[in-house]
Amino acid sequence: MAKYRMVRTDFWKNPIALEEMTPEDKYFYLYLLTNPNTTQIGIYKITKKQMAFDLGYSLESVHSLMERFTRHHKLIRYNPETRELAIKNWGKYNLHKGGKPVMDCINTELKEVEDLSLISYVAETINKEEIRSLYESFSKHDLEKEISQQIEDDTYPVTECDEVDDTILPPDTIPGQKEKAFNLNKENNPDIEDQSQNQKTKDVKEIVEFWDSNGFGFSNVNAKEQLLSWLDDSSFLQSKDVVLKALAIACANNKRKLNYVIGILKNWENESLLTVEEIDSYQENENHVHKQSTESLPSGRAIPSGFELDLTAGEE
């Protein structure tokens, strides 16, 4: 049976689409609204790899778009653990009609949702009371489950081990203890992982934008992915800044090729130049040595001391 998804014509008149969305944003949003994984309830499972394959984008591009729609446009939510995506305004534009067949379909699909918080997220924009009540019944179940879990956690007996704070350990701590401390730190500070991921996203975006805007090849996705691998798989301490510096040098020398850029990076890595400051210092020393060697070279053959020029020599 064929599936249909409705996109209203006033999509193009929406202030967000008109003023804030780039052409790429609009294309991506239409994909989120109409791709084959969509459901009647506006919550569906999909992986970023599937999005990249369908759209012809790299994984980095899809990740950047997801971040943009989640944090800037605030039109979707995505659970990376369950691979579930929820569209905020789905109910506002798609859930107008009730009736038993529709309600049965919605009820069946809501039962399949793993992250129940996504149900309440979509329910916020549903105007039809009958359908919103059905969504809220699942949200209420989620709240009751959360309260029950909280009560169980609060009444669980505390052991002596639970009272020990081992997030700060002495230098001779064994590896297993260090790993435990790191995990506890992440649990107590969930923003640490988010900040790290956000920074990586910004680094990827900055490099891709430099590549695209400086003539390295906008459609050369494979080359971009190889270059971006240096962010994680190199020994540089400032990997993003070092990669950007290599790209700038390639531009200055009119050598806009991946092999040339990677050649620069490999040379720096072989010389153990791990920061931009070390690279600048090394290049400055090299230029100074080269300048000295050039100045020390004579412009012609040196005239021996004591030599006298006789203009009449050889004449009778």
pTM value surpassing 0.95: no
Tokens 């359908």 found at: 131
Structure tokens that stand for 216 in this block:
């390295």
Structure-token pair, residue 198: 């956000």
Compute CA 170 distance to the chain's CA centroid, rounded to the nearest angstrom: 34
Contact indicator for 135, 110 with CB cutoff of 8 Å: yes
User: pLDDT tens for residues 277-313?
Assistant: 989 888 888 777 666 665 555 555 555 666 565 656 6
Structure-block tokens of residue 185: 């730190």
Token pair 């780039």: residue: 22
CB atoms within 10 A of CB 282: 14
**Amino acid letter for position 138:** F
Give mean pLDDT, residues 134-155. 59
From CA 206, how far away is CA 244, in angstroms rounded? Answer: 9
Query: What domains can you pick out in the chain, each with its CATH number?
Result: 9-148 (no CATH), 198-292 (1.10.10.630)
Contact 48, 66 (CB under 8 A): yes
Quote the pLDDT of residue 127: 84
Helix residue spans in the chain (DSSP H): 15, 23-34, 48-55, 59-67, 90-94, 100-111, 117-123, 129-155, 175-188, 191-213, 221-228, 239-252, 258-270, 276-296
Whole-angstrom distance, CA of residue 106 vs CA of residue 110: 6
| pLDDT score at 284 | 85
Q: Tens digits of per-residue pLDDT, 12-55?
A: 888 888 888 999 999 999 999 999 999 999 999 999 999 999 99
User: Which of residues 95 and 64 earns the better pLDDT score?
Assistant: 64
Structure tokens at 307: 């030599």
